[in-house]
Chains A and B, each alone.
Chain A
Amino acid sequence: MTSSKTNGNLPDLDLGWMDQHGPWDTHAEPGKYGFTLADIQIGEYGQVPEESNNQTGRPRGSKPRANSMRLGGYTVRTKSDIWLENASFLYEEALQRQWSSATDVPWESIKPLPDDVEQAQCQMATFLTEVEFVAGDVPARWISSTTPDYFEARQVLLAQVMDESRHMDVFRKRALANGGGLMRATGATAGFVGGIDLSRDFTEMSSRLHISGEGAVLTIFRMGELMAYNDAEKTIYRLCAQDEARHVAFGVMHLRYMSQNEPDRREEIHSYLDEAEGSMLTDAANPAGRLTQTSESLCILLGGGSDKFDEGFRKLVAIRRRQLQEYRKRVISAGFGDRFDNGRSRLNELMAQAAA
Chain B
Amino acid sequence: MADSQTGTKSAGDSRPMDIPEPKFNWMNQSRQWGTRVTPDKKGLTLDKTNVGIYGEVPQRWGDQGRNPRGAIPVKGALPIGYSVTQKTELWADCAAELYEEAIQRRWAPATDVPWSSIQPLPNDVEVAICQVCTEILQYANIDIEVLTNWQHRMSYGYHEVKQFLATASLDAARRYEAFRKRALINGGGLGLEPTGQANRFLLESRGGWTETVAGLALIRTLFVATVCEYLYKHSYNDAERVVYSFVIQDLARLLTYGVEHLKFSLAHDDERRGSVITMIAIGLGMFARDLRDPVLREALAIVFGGGISGARNEGMSIYYDLIEDFRERHLAMRRWLDLPADAATMPRAFRPRDQN
Contacts and interface: CB of A to CB of B under 8 A. Distances in A.
A205 to B, nearest CB: 12
A297 B166 CA distance: 30
Interface in A16-56: 17-18, 20-30, 33-37, 39-40, 42, 45, 56
Nearest to A94: B170
Given A28-B184, A107-B44, A185 B72 contact: yes
A99 B166 CA distance: 14
A190 B79 contact: yes
A122 interface: yes
A102 B44 contact: yes
B200 to A, nearest CB: 5
A281 to B, nearest CB: 13
Given A62-B191, A102-B45, A35 B113 contact: yes
Interface string B142-172: 1011111101100010010011001101101
B37 A185 contact: no
A342 to B, nearest CB: 29
Interface residues of B, number: 126
A126 B68 contact: yes
Given A17-B294, A71-B199, A177 B316 contact: no
B170 A61 contact: no
Interface in B80-123: 80-81, 99-100, 103-104, 106, 108-111, 113, 115-116
Contact of B151 (A56, A137, A299, A306): A137
Given A56-B193, A161-B148, A134 B34 contact: no
Contacts of A95: 106, 108-110, 174
Contact of B162 (A39, A42, A136, A178): A136
Interface string A111-154: 00000100100110010011101101110110110001001001
Nearest to A165: B166
B159 A197 contact: no
Contacts of A138: 152
A184 B138 contact: no
A96 B26 contact: no
Contact of A310 (B11, B190, B356): B11
A164 B167 CA distance: 11
Nearest to B156: A133
A52 B316 CA distance: 37
Residue among A27, A59, A96 having the largest count of chain B Cβ atoms under 10 Å: A59
Contact of A18 (B11, B72, B127, B148): B127
Contacts of B67: 130, 185
Given A13-B298, A58-B193, A62-B192, A181 B70 contact: yes
A35 B185 contact: yes
Contact of B189 (A34, A56, A61, A103): A61
Nearest to A309: B22
Contact of B131 (A17, A57, A129): A17
Contacts, number: 380
A322 interface: no
A351 to B, nearest CB: 13
Contacts of B11: 310, 313-314
Given A57-B199, A162-B166, A183 B108 contact: no
Contacts of B128: 18
Nearest to B67: A185
Interface in A264-286: none
B343 interface: no
A176 B298 contact: no
Nearest to A290: B20
Interface string B178-201: 001101111111111111100110
A21 B316 contact: no
B346 to A, nearest CB: 19
Interface in B13-51: 13, 17-20, 22-39, 42-46, 48-49, 51
A167 to B, nearest CB: 10
A185 B110 contact: no
Contacts of B162: 133, 136-137, 165
B313 interface: yes
A76 B176 CA distance: 19
Contact of B177 (A24, A30, A130, A155): A155
A187 interface: yes
Contacts of A154: 144, 173
Contacts of B268: none
Contacts of A296: 22-24, 26
A68 B290 CA distance: 12
A356 B166 contact: no
A169 B164 CA distance: 11
B288 interface: no
Interface string A152-175: 001100110110111011001101
Interface in B213-261: none
A186 interface: yes
B130 interface: yes
Interface string B55-80: 00000000011111011111011111
Interface of A: 1, 3, 5, 7, 9-11, 13-15, 17-18, 20-30, 33-37, 39-40, 42, 45, 56-59, 61-65, 68-69, 71-73, 92, 95-96, 98, 100-103, 105, 107-108, 116, 119, 122-123, 126, 129-131, 133-134, 136-138, 140-141, 143-144, 148, 151, 154-155, 158-159, 161-162, 164-166, 168-169, 172-173, 175-187, 189-192, 197, 292-293, 296-297, 299, 306, 309-310, 313-314, 317, 355-356
15 contacts: A9-B356, A13-B311, A17-B192, A21-B127, A58-B193, A137-B162, A138-B152, A141-B148, A169-B163, A173-B48, A173-B49, A177-B37, A183-B30, A299-B22, A306-B22
Given A10-B313, A180-B34, A191-B65, 15 more contacts: A15-B308, A20-B192, A28-B184, A58-B138, A65-B192, A73-B203, A98-B106, A140-B169, A158-B144, A158-B170, A159-B173, A181-B70, A183-B71, A192-B78, A296-B24
Interface of B: 9, 11, 13, 17-20, 22-39, 42-46, 48-49, 51, 54, 64-68, 70-74, 76-81, 99-100, 103-104, 106, 108-111, 113, 115-116, 124, 127-128, 130-131, 134, 137-138, 141-142, 144-149, 151-152, 156, 159, 162-163, 166-167, 169-170, 172-174, 176-177, 180-181, 183-196, 199-200, 203-204, 294-295, 298-299, 301, 308, 311-313, 316-317, 353, 356
